[in-house]
Amino acid sequence: MARLEFFFDLSSPWTYMAFHNIQPILDETGAEVTWKPFLVGGVFNAVNQAVYASREDMTGPKARHYAKSLNDWAAWSGLPMNFPSPHHPVRSVHAMRACCALEDDQETLHRFATAAFAAYFDEQKNLDEPEVLAKIADSIGLDGADLIAQTQTEPIKARLRANTDEVIVRGGFGSPSIFVDGGDMYFGNDQLPLVERALSGGGETG
C-alpha cells in the first residue's frame, strides 16, 4: 500500500483546495494518509523569504491572474472561496498548535481541519483567535476549552516546531508539502495529478 504524508497549514488557500481535492485520490488509490500540521511561516522564514516580497505588489498582472486562478480552481473544486478575508494573512500559530494537539487522532484531526478551513475560507473567521478555534472544536463534538488549553503546553508547542523543522529538512518550502512513500515530494494543489500517478505506481521521475 502506498503511503502519503500531507503537511499542511490552515492559512493557505491552495492547501484548503488540495486538502479537499486529494480525498477522492486517496479513496481511489487506497493510499494510507498521515495528516501533518506545521507552521508555514516558519518554513518561509527559513527557506522561502521571497514569498514576502511577492505579497508587496498585489495590483500587477501576475497578482490579478493569481486571484483569477485561485477562484477558477475553487469553482472547479466545488468549494466556496471568500478570500482574502480581513484577517489575511492570518497568524496561524494557535490554529496549528490545535491541530498538533489532535495529531495522534488522525480522524479527529481531519474533521477539525475540515471545519477550520471552512471557517476561514468561507466564513472569514479569524483563526488566530482562541475563542474562534474553541467554537470550531465544539462544533464537531470536541471540548474546545480543553483543546485551547493544550495549545499552551510545551509538548504541543514542541511538536509544532518539530513538524515545521521536518518539512524544512525534507526539502519543503510551503504548504501543502506532500510526500509519497517517504522521499517523493510534491507541492501544491496543481500537482495532485502527479501525486495520483505516484500513488498508482507511476513512480518518482526526478
**Distance between start and end Cα atoms, the chain:** 21
* Topology annotation, domain 3-199: Glutaredoxin (3.40.30)
Query: How far apart (Å, rounded) are the C-alpha atoms in residues 142 and 134?
Result: 9
Strand partners, 6: 35, 178
* pLDDT at 110 (0 to 100): 98
What's 90's DSSP letter?
A: P
Q: Work out the number of other CB atoms within 10 angstroms of the CB of residue 45.
A: 14
Q: pLDDT tens digits for 178-191?
A: 999 999 999 999 99
* pLDDT at 75 (0 to 100): 96
Q: pLDDT tens digits for 7-49?
A: 999 999 999 999 999 999 999 999 999 999 999 999 989 986 6
Where along the chain do its domains lie?
3-199
* pLDDT at 193 (0 to 100): 98
What does each C-alpha distance from 174 to 47, 59, 80, 107, 170 come to in angstroms?
9, 23, 22, 24, 12
Q: pLDDT truncated to tens, each residue of the chain (206 aa)?
A: 899 999 999 999 999 999 999 999 999 999 999 999 999 999 989 986 666 455 556 567 877 888 899 999 999 999 999 998 899 889 999 999 999 999 999 999 999 999 999 999 999 999 999 999 999 999 999 999 999 999 999 999 999 999 999 999 999 999 999 999 999 999 999 999 999 999 998 765 55
